[in-house]
Structure 1
Amino acid sequence: MTGLILNLAPTGMVPTQDMSPHVPITPDEIISDCRKCADLGATILHLHARDEEGAPTYRKDVYARIIAGIRETHPDVVICVSLSGRNFPGFAERSEPLFLSGDLKPDMASLTLSSMNFARTESVNSPEMVRRLAETMAERGIRPELEVFDTGMINYAQYLADKGVIAAPHCFNILLGNVATAQATPLHLGVMTSALPAGSLWCAGGIGASQIAANSLGLLFGNGVRVGLEDYLWLDAARTRPATNSQMVTRVRELAGMFERTFADCRQVRSMLGLRPHG
């Protein structure tokens, strides 16, 4: 069996340091945390930028600073920028990080395939927006990180693939446990994976206390996992042990060892995703 992908989502749009002091907020904190987790085996970094006040931002100059800081010490790690529309509804805002170039150009960018509800907020992704973002990624030579929360999103990915908008190899993050979408059960995951385009790679991540269950399913049956404080701030379901990103990376590597699975290195992951070596 090939090695697994370890995708780290260190910050997200929602967590603050009032919620947990371990959430990296400033560019320097994000850089430091990502470097530490890359040393521990994280091979994809799913980045959300924050502004000077700690609020989410789409600004490419902030992304540039974070990417440069990470690549200074870890040039081969796969960099994925978030194109989330939860705070920024316009195409110009959402697409801005795609226009970084040279050594600052991201390898991947997130693409959520449809609109949905979270526990308290909505994520609006119109068909036109999804397609425009996908087309811009294709023009820029950036691979989509296809984020799916239910089978309808997978169906739309297949539709875009059939239309030639997104090209193989397709890399999916299957995100389970959100209250309004698929749950972290073998049945829900099985239905979703059975609908993936042939030859797809998929990693499993869990929202909230579903993280460890979803990660276990990804380790056993998938191509890898997504972990990080974006998805959950705790190490336990009872919320008594605050987590750090490095603890989550270490734990999922230990869990993989119990299942006799190993993780790929950055260059192997780049080959799996059809990405050129960096530099």
Structure 2
Amino acid sequence: MISEVFITCAITGTGSSVERSPHVPVTPEQIANSAIEATRSGAAAVHIHVRNPETGRGSRDPALFRDVVRRIRASDVNPVINLTAGMGGDMVLGGAESPLPLDPGTDMVGALERLVHVEELRPEICTLDCGSMNFAPRDEYIMANTPGALRAMAARVKQLGVRPELEVFDAGHLVMVHDLIEAGLIDDPPLIQLCMGIRYGAPDDPTTLMAMVHQLPPRAIYSAFSVGRMQFPYVALAPLVGANVRVGLEDNLYLSRGRLATNAELVERAVQILDRIGVRVMSPDEVREKLTLAAHG
């Protein structure tokens, strides 16, 4: 067990949650304001996706990221900004019997194009999804992250002085984590996020979680979270296995059964849980020192 943790709030994601909760932020102003409120509630880091303001669907438009980051940096709080680099690896096959041509919903671009917003805005952290996987609910959708693309992205992120957060959705993704470290593409300490309970990825039972923890590289600083109703149990479980905490509307919409939450409320509940089990919540500046983050922007 660790006695202090940092909380990351995943603000909006890219899924269909907009139709299921009025609290999921869509516009750059809404996303930035929600990130600011989450920071005031105790989040040290905010994980940012952006959405098309007209459709509510996920986007990788650098102008939208620019607007969100500008608003957060101009605010009276100073969270660690963690931008997704997962967009641009969305492959949708044409069907079980005719996979090609690809469905028009496919959004596949080169490794460096996936990092355009990171190169411009220089957040302290950006994510790297460390493998490909099927991803519900679409039958023909694949989250595509090849070893070659990941090595190219990791090399560029290192050049930019941005800390990659290595997203691990299943045990095999840890092989990629070790490969990137052995190739000299990841600086110490490696920052890893164990993403549990996502359909077709690693289940969120404690036995699977511990098996993955035991495969982590030495000196790793890591977080662990689960989705839906398991979000809060994982807030309590994470420190017991040496992990930091993530909550947010990207992963869970509810504060309790039938009670839709805001990001600030999810963070507040996480702080309460951690306080009651004797775990101190770290500030953004303490996280910067712990992770040896480089200041940009």
Query: TM-score normalised by the shorter chain: which range applies?
Result: over 0.9
Match of 2:194 in 1: 174
- What secondary structure sits across from 2:29 in the alignment? helix
Query: 2:231 maps to what in 1?
Result: 211
Identity %: 31
1:31-180 alignment to 2 at 5 Å? 31-53=32-54, 54-74=56-76, 76-84=78-86, 85-86=89-90, 88-91=107-110, 92-100=112-120, 104-121=121-138, 122-180=142-200
Match of 1:249 among 257, 267, 277: 267
- Mapped to 1, the partners of 2:277 and 2:107 lie a distance apart of 40
The partner residue of 2:287 within 246, 269, 274 is 269
Distance 1:170 1:81, change over 3 A: same
Which residue does 1:240 correspond to in 2? 258
Is 1:13 aligned to 2:30, yes or no? no
Partners of 1:242 and 1:117 in 2: CA distance: 28
Deviates more, 1:211-220 or 1:255-264: 211-220
TM-score (norm. length: structure 1): 0.92
Runs of 4+ in structure 1 deviating by more than 4 angstroms, as ranges, are none
Contact 1:173/1:203, CA 8 A, preserved across alignment? yes
TM-fit CA distance, 1:49 = 1.2
Tell me the CA shift for residue 221 of structure 1.
Answer: 2.5
Cα distance in structure 1, aligned partners of 2:107 and 2:82: 18
> Of Structure 1 and Structure 2, which has the larger fraction of its residues in strand?
2
Aligned to 1:185: 205
Counterpart Cα distance in 2 of 1:81 and 1:74: 20
> What secondary structure is seen at the aligned counterpart in 1 of 2:223?
strand
In 2, Cα distance between equivalents of 1:21 and 1:192: 35
SS in 1 for 2:174: helix
SS at match of 2:131: coil
Deviations 1:157-212 (A, max 9, x none): 01110111112111111111112121222211111111111010111111222212
Bigger shift: 210-219 or 64-73?
Answer: 210-219
Q: Residue type of the partner of 1:20?
A: S
Residue identity matched to 1:90: V
Partner Cα distance (2:155, 2:65) in 1: 21
RMSD of aligned Cα (Å): 1.7
Give the Cα–Cα distance (whole angstroms) in 2 for the partners of residues 162 and 28 of structure 1.
41
The Cα shift of 1:21 comes to 0.3
Residue 15 of structure 2 aligns to a residue whose secondary structure is coil
State the Cα deviation string for residues 62-107 of structure 1 (Å, max 9, x = none).
111111100112563111111113363212542211221xxx4211
Question: How many Å separate the matches in 2 of 1:97 and 1:70?
Answer: 15
Unaligned 5+ residue runs, structure 2?
91-105
Q: 1:133: Cα distance to partner?
A: 1.2
Q: Secondary structure at the match of 2:195?
A: strand
Change (3 A) 1:58 1:168: same
| Cα drift, residue 220 of structure 1 | 2.5
